[in-house]
Structure 1
Amino acid sequence: MKFTFQVLKNTRSIFNKIIENNTLEDLNKIPSGFNNNVIWNIAHVIVTEQLLSYKLSGLKPALSDDMIDKYKKDSKPQGSLTKEEVNEIKGLLLSTIEKTQEDYTNGVFKNYNAYTVSTTGNTLNNIDEAIQFGAIHEGLHYGYVLALLKAVKN
């Protein structure tokens, strides 16, 4: 799992750089043909990891219910985010995955409620599978972010 956590941290570092290297307007813009934006995708990966790891393990996620509702599966952007909201998301990128790794190492995840993911149809049966799928999910959204950025810049 050490490798998987390293992949997740690297992907999240890339998301961090994307936030730093783009304007608030570009992060919030929903280009024609898309139904979300760059910052929604970045917040969505944070929320999804917390739900797949903590909620399905019967544990409390490190995020507010409001944040979860805004960025969970099947949600859409509800207007432009402020710089403060973007900074909150930026701060959660690495802190949440580092906490998940710490909790994983310390054996906090004891139970798991199996969940079938809609994107691939695979059933996650334990925390290891949830974390491994998280890397795939975040890679998928990295691709979305790159497509969004290309559309925003053109």
Structure 2
Amino acid sequence: MIFHHMETVRTITEKSIKTIPEEIADIVPKGFNNNIRWNFGHIAYIQEKLVYGVLGEKMSVPNEYEELFSAGTKPDDWEQTPPTLEEISIVLTEQKSRVKKALQGNFDKELPEPFTNKAGIKFHTLGETFLFSFYHEALHMEAIKRIYLECKK
């Protein structure tokens, strides 16, 4: 059931990224810190961090994702060309099968040290961080929707 939910959430994300024109992906509307491209890249990076990074394992997203899309980053600070939406889309799609394989039977796996998110919530197991990632992805999908609507005005 959990993996089915992951598929549902990620399918929404994958369908959404395919509807965004590349020409509006980098617009940061007034009142926003980030753009649509950053939000999609951030979803991929944080999912990776919440499954692999919290265990101290090697993350498989491209190396530049940390510099471009980790918490606290923003497009105004980018010193390199970010990936295209198509490239981010491929990362998001490929991530599903890797995550499913990594998590199979490991939901109760204790983290080497508890992970505390920006809201101060502390997670102790891999399952907890993974389940939180669904909420995180939905928050950023809402941000993408709001940015898109601003760009269409």
Same fold (TM over 0.5): yes
Mapping of residues 3-152 of structure 1, within 5 Å = 3=2, 5-77=3-75, 78=78, 85-105=84-104, 107=106, 110-112=109-111, 113-118=113-118, 120-152=119-151
User: How far apart, CA to CA, are the structure 2 residues paired with 1:81 and 1:31?
Assistant: 20
Moved more, 122-131 or 107-116: 107-116
Taking a change above 3 Å as real, the CA distance of residues 129 and 109 of structure 1, as seen in their structure-2 partners, is closer
Percentage of pairs with the same residue? 23
**Bigger share in helix:** 1
- Structure 2, unmatched stretches of 5+, are none
Moved more, 5-14 or 103-112: 103-112
Q: Give the AA of the match of 1:52.
A: L
Q: Give the AA of the match of 1:90.
A: S
User: How far apart, CA to CA, are the structure 1 residues paired with 2:120 and 2:107?
Assistant: 27
1:102 alignment partner, SS class: helix
Is the contact between residue 70 and residue 76 of structure 1 (CA under 8 Å) also seen in structure 2?
yes
Tell me the alpha carbon deviations over residues 86-129 of structure 1, each in whole angstroms, 9 at most, x when there is no partner. Answer: 221100112112211111115499551211111x3210111010
Is the contact between residue 116 and residue 123 of structure 1 (CA under 8 Å) also seen in structure 2?
yes
Q: Name the TM-score, length of structure 1 as normaliser.
A: 0.86
Q: Name the TM-score, length of structure 2 as normaliser.
A: 0.86
- Structure 1, unmatched stretches of 5+, are none
1:95 alignment partner, SS class: helix
Is the contact between residue 57 and residue 110 of structure 1 (CA under 8 Å) also seen in structure 2?
no
Higher normalized contact order (CA 8 Å, seq sep 6+, divided by chain length): 1
Taking a change above 3 Å as real, the CA distance of residues 109 and 129 of structure 1, as seen in their structure-2 partners, is closer
Q: Give the C-alpha shift of residue 7 in structure 1.
A: 2.7
User: How far apart, CA to CA, are the structure 1 residues paired with 2:19 and 2:64?
Assistant: 27
User: How far apart, CA to CA, are the structure 1 residues paired with 2:4 and 2:97?
Assistant: 10
Tell me the matched-pair count. 150
